[in-house]
Amino acid sequence: MKRTDLNSEQVHELVNAAADGELTMEQQAEYEQLIAQSTEARKLQADLERMAAVLSNLPPPNPPQYLHEAIMARLPVLQSRGLFASWLKPVTSPSALRYMLTAAAGLMVAVVFYEGRSAVSSADYFADTSELVGTMAPAVNRTDAASLDSWSYREKGLESRIKLERRDDLFLLEVEIDAADPVEVLLDLRSSGLALGALVQTEGPADSFEYAGQRLRIASRAATHGRHRITAHLHRTDETDLAAEVKIELEYSSRGKLLQQGSLIPVW
C-alpha cells in the first residue's frame, strides 16, 4: 500500500503504535516510510513525544507513611501457613530458587524465580519473570538518556536490537527480539564492568530470563511471531576501570545452534 493511501485514522494508529513501541516488523518499515513522507505523521510523532516527556518526568506520588502498617494490619490472619506457603512453593523450593538480586540502598529488589525442571542442561532452567515486571523498579525516564552503544541483527525470521543507554549512574539495557522461532540471546557482562541491578520491564509471550556469573540469558520460548522486549537496569561494579576498554559479548542461538555473535562496546 502506498503511504498516500493511508487515511488519517491509519496514520494515527501507526504513529501511536510506534510511540508505544508496539510496531510489528512489517509495520516498522511502513512507519519509517510514512514518517519520511508525511508532515502530519511527523507532527503527531512530535506531539506524542512531548506528551510522553511531560508525563514520564512527573514524580510518582508518595504514599502516606502509615500505609504499609495499615495494609499489614488489615491483612487476614492466615488460618494455616500452608495457604500462603502452598502458593509460594512452586517458586521457592530449593531446587527452584536460583538467584536473588538486591540493588544498592535496598530501594529496588529484583527477585528471580526459577522453575525446577527435569532438565538435561542448564539451558532448560528458565525463570518466568513476567509477573515481577514494572513493580520492582520504576520505568526510567528515557528522554535524556545517553546512548552508549547499540547492536542490530536481522536474518530471515529473526530481528533483534540491543541498546545500552546511560542516565547519570544508571545504565539501561534493552533487548528486543522479534522471532518466528524460539531463540536465545546470551549477554556476557564479565568484561563490561557492569552487573545486573534489576529488571524493569518485559513484554511479549513467555519470556524467560536467567542471570548467573554476570551472564544474562534471555530465551524467547514462543514459536509464534511476537515481539519480546526486556529492559533491565545495570550498575557499574567496583572494579570498573573507566580507562579500560569494556564490552558486552553477545550471542544468538536457536535450538542449540549458534546464529550470530557480536559485542556492545560502551563508550563512557
Partner 1 sequence: MDSLVRLFERPVFSAAYRMLGNADEAADVSQTAFVKLFENIRRFDPSFRLFSWIYRITVNETLDQLRRRRRYEPLTESPHSDSQSDVFDGDSAQEAVATSQLCREVQGILMHLHEDHRAVIVLHYFSACSYHQISEILEVPEKTVKSRLFSARRQMKNLLGQHGILSS
Q: Least Å distance between CB 133 and partner 1?
A: 6
Residue 85 touching partner 1 (CB under 8 A): no
Angle at 145 between CA 208 and CA 231, to 5 degrees: 5
Task: Quote the distance between the C-alpha of residue 206 and its chain's center.
Answer: 13
Q: Does 200 bind partner 1 (CB under 8 A)?
A: yes
CA distance 245 to 266: 8
Among 203, 240, 251, 254, binds partner 1 (CB under 8 A): 203
Going from the C-alpha of 159 to that of each of 5, 42, 227, 257, 260, the distances in angstroms are 27, 25, 9, 17, 12
Does residue 102 touch partner 1 according to CB under 8 A? no
Interaction of residue 51 with partner 1, rule CB under 8 A: yes
Q: Does 104 bind partner 1 (CB under 8 A)?
A: no
Among 29, 32, 36, 67, binds partner 1 (CB under 8 A): 67
Does the footprint of partner 1 cover residue 87 (CB under 8 A)? yes
| Interface residues toward partner 1, by CB under 8 A | 12-13, 16-17, 20-22, 47-48, 50-52, 54-56, 58-64, 66-68, 70-72, 74-76, 78, 83-84, 87, 90, 109, 130-136, 138-139, 200-201, 203
